[in-house]
Structure 1
Amino acid sequence: MKWSWEQPDWPNFLYESKALAPLEQSFLVQSGEFVGACKHIGAGDREVLKIELISEEAVKTSKIEGEILNRDSVQASLRHQLGLGPQTPNIDPAERGISEMIVDLYRNFANTLNDATMFAWHKMLLADDKKIRVIGGYRTHEDPMQVVSGPDYKRMVHFEAPPSKRMTDEMIRFITWFNDTAPNGQTPLPALTRAGIAHLHFLCIHPFEDGNGRIGRALAEKSLAQNLNQPSLIALAYTIERKRKDYYAALERNNKELEITAWLTYFANTILEAQRNTIERVDFFVAKARFCETFKGQLNERQNKVITRMFKEGMDGFKGGLSANNYIKIADTSRATATRDLQDLVEKGAFTKTGELRHTRYALSLGEDRRGQ
């Protein structure tokens, strides 16, 4: 079977706009909800939230590609890039590079797309990769560019991209389309439709030796930000990474045909889920701020250490809740002391308690009915 780029009408993608209309409307509604949620956050806390959101995207977009980064290092690099902190020594090149790319995307989302932007991103991501022949430029090798899996004797080809000799022409056409379909372009497209086509089109070309997935997701974020006229801060990579197999399966299902309604529906729903995840994370951030303010000065050093660790787990928290054994290990204390501390936290309204005996579990009390308020 031919690949999408081998079809006679490539890259004229076909889709049913009516199927996407309600999803586009939901995107606009949820965008308003996000703006409303952020209004409850002060300017200083907003900067902290911004770092948390974009650092999570940086870590997750790399994890999708199998690259595990240190979140604290990424956040330190982001703070420096955004002028919010000093330069931290010994930051890994991969962590510094993804931070530089995300900050460039955040600051310059409104700029028209060009080769120079993507070449700069590529250099940021892969400057220290000794295996890449062309860094900061489109691929030139003669070997087929394939996405494969399995051992050499039983290799499965999931996708093959256009030959390298076509990269210049393919990318001229892609960049022209991207800029023409922007809100102020000649043929503007709705937000979800444009982001979905941009991501799939770019990955079908696969113009770089490596880094195509991360740059392709950045282009989807850039597209959404342009349609919103502000940095999206949407948890797209965070959401994709949680269902990574579905993401790769959807790409594979839609790399052989130009009719892409199914892909656009999948990607639009993924973006809507990402929006909801972002709104939940903002709510969690607000609840965390309220919690810390409510119990400021009321907790001992051990309790603060455990609570800090719990907040670091994010919205998902400890799977199944915090146990007494968890508390003992984190606080480095005795069982008797842990029992007193946990009882005190429940009485103050900082923790909620479920279960009995060895099944007892504790969770942070982030609702509005805390007795400590």
Structure 2
Amino acid sequence: MAAIPSFIRDNVYIASSEVTAAAEDAALAIRDFDHEFGSGIAPFSAILLRTESVSSSQIENVTANARSIEMAVLGDDSKRNATLVVDNVAAMNAALAAADALDTAAVLEMHRALMKHADPKGAGIWRSEPVWIGRSSSSPVGADFVAPDARRVPALMDDLMAYAGRNDVQVLSQAAIAHAQFETIHPFTDGNGRTGRALMHAMLRNKGLTRAVTVPVSAGLLNHVREYHDALTAYRKGDPDGIILLTSEATFRAIDNGRRLAGDITAARARWKDVIKARKDAAAWKIADLLARQPVVNAKLLEDRLGLSGPTIWRQMQVLEEAGVVQGFDKFKRGRHWKSDEILDALDAFAARSGRRGRG
């Protein structure tokens, strides 16, 4: 039987003291992390947003290594999963861009960006058919959860976004509950998990908890996928404590992992300062700064982003290759590319530490 969720627009939920304290501590940790890395390391906001998108995709078993993802950013569509991760980055950017106006139109835009390659016909459109979780893909019989009738989706989403817009609820608890309600509504035929997690980040930005960076909460959830799904099930049975507590705990894990990633990138940039033999005003330094957030580049990207001419690009990339900062390679039909193995290794190490554990 299809679920019939309650409306939550005016919901007043008082969590246990343990959960309330955990959510408040996690919120403070997010604010501190945002302040620390939002102002101190310029390229880190882009890297963190990318890592959140990678982890959110991994929860849905969409995996790709850092190099494949960076190639997809440059337009290489030969690796489908990498393309889907890049679409998730686009969905996250849409979420943050819409943070000032949380409404259903913003959610549809997030989904449109996410699914533009995976399901172009269904992208950005509420579902019109039944969906369920578990067992058979052809019938809801015996399913773990059957989402609400499609005709209920528009009203449920209007109600959810009204709740998301409230300013009288503890922010992290509100974001966790909104996410769980979104997953209960399951408003799309596909892409619900990734869109719902993007919505959480839009809410954190809307409430001012984050201003410059994206805390990769999904990397923390990825460590405990079974518990994550169990917490969503408990929410559907009327107990939000689990999803609030798990989101709080995931926040601390994500922040710890994010700090380690920041340390790896900072160490790489410090080493580059010692080995790059170029004048202080040379374009090689601008390219090095770009590599810290875009670790695979080609001539077109460098021309578009930095305004460099072709001859300048080749001269400066030779300097960086000789210093061991980049490694050049040729991509069939796409010309010469350069990669920073140090940054790619740091991103893959972040993903490995996140590690999907448990099944659900």
> Could you say whether these structures have the same fold, taking a TM-score greater than 0.5 normalized by the shorter chain as the test?
yes
Secondary structure class of the residue paired with 2:143 = strand
Q: Map Cα deviations across residues 195-214 of structure 1 (whole Å, 9 max, x no partner).
A: 11111011111111111101
Higher Cα radius of gyration: 1
Instruction: Determine whether 1:313 maps to 2:345.
Output: yes
| Cα pair distance change 1:125/1:69, threshold 3 Å | farther
Secondary structure class of the residue paired with 2:128 = coil
Name the counterpart of 2:222: 241
Q: Map Cα deviations across residues 167-199 of structure 1 (whole Å, 9 max, x no partner).
A: 1211111111111x2x4xxxx212211111111
Residue of 116, 119, 136 corresponding to 1:127: 116
Residue of 232, 239, 251 corresponding to 1:259: 239
Name the counterpart of 1:138: 126
Name the counterpart of 2:285: none
| Cα pair distance change 1:295/1:104, threshold 3 Å | same
Superposed CA RMSD in Å reads 3.8
**CA–CA separation in structure 1 for the residues paired with 2:200 and 2:97:** 15
Residues 34 and 210, structure 2, Cα contact 8 Å, conserved in 1: no
How do 1:75-94 residues align onto structure 2 when only pairs under 5 Å count?
75=70, 88=75, 90=77, 94=84
Q: How many residues align?
A: 294
| Cα pair distance change 1:152/1:104, threshold 3 Å | closer
Residue type of the partner of 1:139?
R
Q: Map Cα deviations across residues 20-44 of structure 1 (whole Å, 9 max, x no partner).
A: 3322442344222442355443xxx
How do 1:30-49 residues align onto structure 2 when only pairs under 5 Å count?
30=29, 31-41=31-41, 46-47=42-43, 49=44
Name the counterpart of 1:271: 251
Residues 34 and 212, structure 2, Cα contact 8 Å, conserved in 1: no
**CA–CA separation in structure 2 for the residues paired with 1:247 and 1:35:** 28
**CA–CA separation in structure 2 for the residues paired with 1:154 and 1:138:** 19
| Cα pair distance change 1:62/1:215, threshold 3 Å | same
**CA–CA separation in structure 1 for the residues paired with 2:137 and 2:195:** 27
Name the counterpart of 2:87: 97
TM-score under structure 1 length normalisation? 0.66
Instruction: Determine whether 1:115 maps to 2:96.
Output: no
Shift of 1:232: 4.2
**CA–CA separation in structure 2 for the residues paired with 1:318 and 1:60:** 10
Secondary structure class of the residue paired with 2:61 = coil
| Cα pair distance change 1:18/1:146, threshold 3 Å | same
Name the counterpart of 1:333: none
| Cα pair distance change 1:314/1:156, threshold 3 Å | farther
Q: Which runs of no fewer than 5 residues in structure 1 stay unpaired?
A: 79-86, 320-373
| Cα pair distance change 1:55/1:195, threshold 3 Å | same
Secondary structure class of the residue paired with 1:254 = helix
Secondary structure class of the residue paired with 1:196 = helix
Higher relative contact order, chain-length normalized (CA < 8 Å, sep 6+)? 2
Residues 96 and 201, structure 2, Cα contact 8 Å, conserved in 1: no
Shift of 1:286: 1.9
Residue type of the partner of 1:284?
D
Residue type of the partner of 2:88?
I
Secondary structure class of the residue paired with 2:196 = helix
Q: Which runs of no fewer than 5 residues in structure 2 stay unpaired?
A: 278-319, 328-338, 352-360
Residue type of the partner of 1:123?
R
Q: Map Cα deviations across residues 269-326 of structure 1 (whole Å, 9 max, x no partner).
A: 11232223223322332223223334556x996976799545522277599xxxxxxx
Residue type of the partner of 2:26?
F
**CA–CA separation in structure 2 for the residues paired with 1:9 and 1:117:** 19
**CA–CA separation in structure 2 for the residues paired with 1:96 and 1:286:** 24
Residue type of the partner of 1:145?
V
Residues 58 and 74, structure 1, Cα contact 8 Å, conserved in 2: no
Residues 60 and 241, structure 1, Cα contact 8 Å, conserved in 2: yes
Q: Map Cα deviations across residues 110-164 of structure 1 (whole Å, 9 max, x no partner).
A: x22222212222222223345x8643221112xx321013698997522111111
How do 1:129-278 residues align onto structure 2 when only pairs under 5 Å count?
129=118, 134-141=122-129, 144-149=130-135, 156-179=142-165, 181=166, 183=167, 188-227=168-207, 228=209, 230-255=211-236, 257-278=237-258
Name the counterpart of 2:51: 56
| Cα pair distance change 1:168/1:253, threshold 3 Å | same
